[in-house]
Amino acid sequence: MCGRFAQGILSFQNIEEIPSDFLGGAVYQKEASRGGTGTSTSTSNTSNTINETSEGVYQIIDVGPSGAEEKVELDLTRVHNYTPSFNIAPTNTALIIYRAKAPPAEDGGVSHRYIFEPAKFGLVPLWAKPQDPKPINEGKDNQGKRYSRELGKHESKYFNCRKESLDQNKSVWNSAKNNRCVIPVQGYFEWQKTKGEKIPYFVHSTTAPIVYLAGLYSHNHNYNENFNVNEEYLSSFTIVTGPVEKTDENSLAWLHARKPILIKPASKAWYDWLDSDKHMDHKLIDETLNTSTNPAYENVEGYRVSKKVGNPNNKSEDILKKLVPNNDSVDSFFSSKNKERGKGKLKTETVSSRDETKPKVKEEQGQGHSVKEEQGQGHSVKEEQGQGHSVKEEQGQGHSVKEEQGHSNVKVKKEIAGDEKAEKGSTGPPFKRTRQKQDEEMPKKKIKKEK
């Protein structure tokens, strides 16, 4: 699933820098800086420039997927007073990108027109109508707008859409099947379930500052008191998720059973997913929402972060800091997990710390006779074996047990002083290690033989 993500760096700190980061880098993989109105900024190819043709509208000429030169336009006229956040939760606002139908490309027209738009995280179906005007936090200082409680229920319920559901006849997703978008993010947060605990991780690309999540959006015209785009409609979106398998390339199975589906910029999947003229069918779903061999997951990794991310009010960049746990038991558990995926190694137990607890073991052997002695913390076990006879003696804190066995296979067990609880309380691990010694060096000890 995907219930939290970060959208707070680079261009998202300054709306005017979006064109160069998106057109000049994030999609077309070029280096560019912002140019002002009426000016142009050169990219790595001097024939390509980013022009602001009108207020909030930018264009670039570049080689498209067919290999021919195309004019690409980016429309930011819907973005006003947007506040970036490193911790976006359902019901919060984020930026989405979708493609609008462009006029014919003949005579220098635009081939691809991208719309940047603020939208609520959690889909409100276009057919939903206002019924309950009750606001959230009614009577409090932070009371919301009318109908905000009702809208919050929609958004909290539909912030994720399963890929499998798009092949089914469900009204809430049918209403948005042809309204496909991508959500540009630094990465997303996922919680790994362990024994009685949930550990938050931040999943991101190690080579790109931004990745793109597949999504669906909705424009609802019924909640006119809650419009969030130029007083025209209420914009909202959901993130599409898919199953995770251990056999996936760049598998995230160690973290969660599902994952948000990434789409690689400027790929065939990118153009097909954002093409509203392409009908949503089984083939389009399989090709664009590929979860097993999707190249968008290359160089994606996850690292542990603070549990403070669980509080949606913590929206600063500090929550992206990598966390190195200090608890040895936790480290031991996660070190094995990290070895499996080869990333984010945590602390492991040192050899010296284990050696201090090892018991001392001695074994003495002579001709037809052997003595073996083990010593742990406050406990010792001594076993002697001769020809057809054995004696085993254990000593704990204030307690001794001797067991003898002869030719008749009859065992004789003697307890000397102490109580039985002491025997159980301080035994060392039963390690077996040997070294030889002659009979004459064996400690003098009286051994009773049974006839």
For 397-441, write each residue's pLDDT tens digit: 444 445 545 544 444 444 444 443 433 444 444 444 444 444 444
The count of domains in the chain is 2
CA distance 451 to 448: 10
| pLDDT at site 356 | 39
Any domain includes 347: no
Any domain includes 333: no
Any domain includes 240: yes
277 plus 374 within the same structural domain: no
In CATH, what number is assigned to the domain containing residue 69? 3.90.1680.10
User: Which among 403, 401, 402 has a CA at the least distance from the CA of 424?
Assistant: 401
Burial class (CB in 10 A: 0-12, 13-18, 19+), 421: exposed
CA angle 190, 192, 196 (to 5 degrees): 135
- The lowest-confidence range among 21-30, 99-108, 368-377 is 368-377
CA distance 203 to 300: 7
For 52-71, write each residue's pLDDT tens digit: 888 888 888 877 667 778 88
The mean predicted confidence, pLDDT, of the chain is 74
User: Which among 338, 339, 9, 7 has a CA at the least distance from the CA of 199?
Assistant: 338
134 plus 195 within the same structural domain: yes
9 plus 107 within the same structural domain: yes
Q: What domain range is 366 assigned to?
A: 361-439
244 plus 369 within the same structural domain: no
Any domain includes 36: yes
313 plus 366 within the same structural domain: no
Residue written as token pair 């999504």:
215
Any domain includes 149: yes
**pTM score:** 0.68
Query: What integer is the mean pLDDT of 11-17?
Result: 54
Q: Which amino acid is at 19?
A: P
CA distance 171 to 153: 17
CA distance 41 to 50: 6
Q: What tokens does 402 get?
A: 């001797």
- The lowest-confidence range among 13-17, 118-122, 123-127, 130-134 is 13-17
Per DSSP, the three-state class of 255 is: coil
215 plus 314 within the same structural domain: yes
Residue 248 banded pLDDT, cuts 50, 70, 90:
confident
79 plus 176 within the same structural domain: yes
Show Cβ contacts of residue 425 under 8 Å, excluding neighbours closer than 6 positions.
396, 397
The residue out of 271, 305, 321 marking a domain boundary is: 321
183 plus 253 within the same structural domain: yes
CA distance 328 to 397: 30
370 plus 246 within the same structural domain: no
The residue out of 292, 321, 350 marking a domain boundary is: 321
108 plus 255 within the same structural domain: yes
95 plus 165 within the same structural domain: yes
Any domain includes 331: no
Q: DSSP for 52-106?
A: EEETTEEEEEEE-TTSSEEEEEEE-TT--S---EEEE-TTSEEEEEEEEPPPP-T
Any domain includes 350: no
178 plus 252 within the same structural domain: yes
